[in-house]
Amino acid sequence: MDGEQLHEVAIRTAAGLPAAVETQPFGEGAIVHKVVGKMFVMVTEVRGVPIVNLKCAPPHGAALVRDHAEITPGWHMNKRHWITLSPGDGIDETLVEDLVANAYDLVVAGLPVAKRPIDPSRGTPPARATD
């Protein structure tokens, strides 16, 4: 997957998630997607190379870094909880879509139940208490 495709798939996938908002808190060169104010993906370039930073559970991130040359610990982020995707043959559309959705689910799962736009375990709106 080339860099343009990497960015396009990550942005398209993030934008399609419930309550996801596109922002640019770091300036014009970085697109950040947040859910309820919490960042889960950043699309930018480093020295002219398109990259995507994603929130990731530490064991999953370590396995991805081990198994894919295009995946490294998060650039400019907490290296334990973030990964960086770079263009290359080991990255495909399905992997990017899955990793963006996983990053979103991780952030949503960490939100108070009342603020969650979905139940991450079922992909549906959370159950609300009734009076």
Which range, of 56-65, 98-107, 122-131, averages the lowest pLDDT?
A: 122-131
Q: Is residue 115 part of a domain?
A: no
**Percent of the chain topping pLDDT 70:** 90
**Looking at the domain assignment, is residue 118 inside a domain?**
no
Hey, which of 109-113, 118-122, 124-128 has the most confident mean pLDDT? Answer: 109-113
Query: Per the domain annotation, does 15 fall within a domain?
Result: yes
Q: How many structural domains is the chain composed of?
A: 1
Name the H helices within the chain: 3-15, 58-67, 93-109
Mean pLDDT of 29-56: 95
126, pLDDT greater than 60: no
pLDDT of residue 124: 55
Judge whether 24 lies within some domain: yes
Asked whether the predicted pLDDT for residue 131 surpasses 80, the reply is no
- The CATH number of whichever domain residue 76 belongs to comes to 3.90.1150.30
Q: Does 102 fall in a domain?
A: no
- Does the residue 56 lie in any domain? yes
For residue 74, is pLDDT > 60? yes
pLDDT for 129 equals 43
pLDDT top residue among 98 and 112: 98
In a domain, 36, yes or no: yes
Residue 103 lies in a domain: no
Domain with 60, as residue range(s), is 3-88
* CA distances for 29 relative to 44, 60, 84, 107, angstroms: 6, 28, 16, 23
Phi then psi for residue 87, to 5 deg, are: -60, 150
Q: Are 51 and 84 in contact (CB under 8 A)?
A: yes
